[in-house]
Amino acid sequence: MLLFIEKPFDKLTHQELHDIYALRSEVFVVEQECVYQDIDGKDLNSLHILGLDEGKLVAYARILGKGFSYSDYASIGRIVVSPAYRGRNIGHRLVNFSMKTSQKRYNQIPIKISAQAHLEKFYKEHHFKATGENYLEDGIPHIGMIYQIP
């Protein structure tokens, strides 16, 4: 059974931190063949969302409050589901949990994401709206998207 938990950086265990970096590397660096600086200093100020299946990390996201990634928005990033666990609606559950957690933690500040462009439809299902044109981030087309609290 999938369980989502939230932890600030200083409450992560060594094993959890290892598993987070391993999952992000597996998908963003190896699968997507993207060489980029994953360890960007933002993890220290992030609230980390861990999706666990019987103790194994299978999904992950990080949440940052207003002013860390965007001056006027909270943000959710590094949203990832293990390739072995895709097709089970875990991505939608992860985004829903992350959005609710962000709203609870940051007093319903609007949320901004930098979404991979091919996932625009996925995020629109969560009521994110595209802002501006596509742009390249680490060689991958992205689009800015914002969720305004209804």
Q: Which DSSP helix (H) or strand (E) runs through 100?
A: helix 90-105
Query: What does the alpha-carbon distance between residue 98 and residue 54 come to, in Å, rounded to a whole number?
Result: 20
Task: Give the model's pLDDT for residue 149.
Answer: 75
**What CATH number did the domain enclosing 64 receive?**
3.40.630.30
pLDDT at 33: 87
Residue 34 has what pLDDT? Answer: 87
Residue in 60, 142, 69, 140 with CA at minimum distance from that of residue 93: 60
Q: Which conformational region is residue 33 in: left (phi greater than 0), alpha (psi within -120 to 50 degrees), or beta?
A: left
Total number of domains in the chain = 1
Pair of tokens at residue 71: 């001056």
Of 141, 146, 114, the residue nearest 130 (C-alpha): 146
| Arithmetic mean of pLDDT over the chain | 95
* Predicted pLDDT of residue 122: 97
The structure's pTM equals 0.95
Find the length of the chain. 150
| Domain span including residue 41 | 2-147
Cα–Cα distance, 32 to 78 (Å, whole number): 13
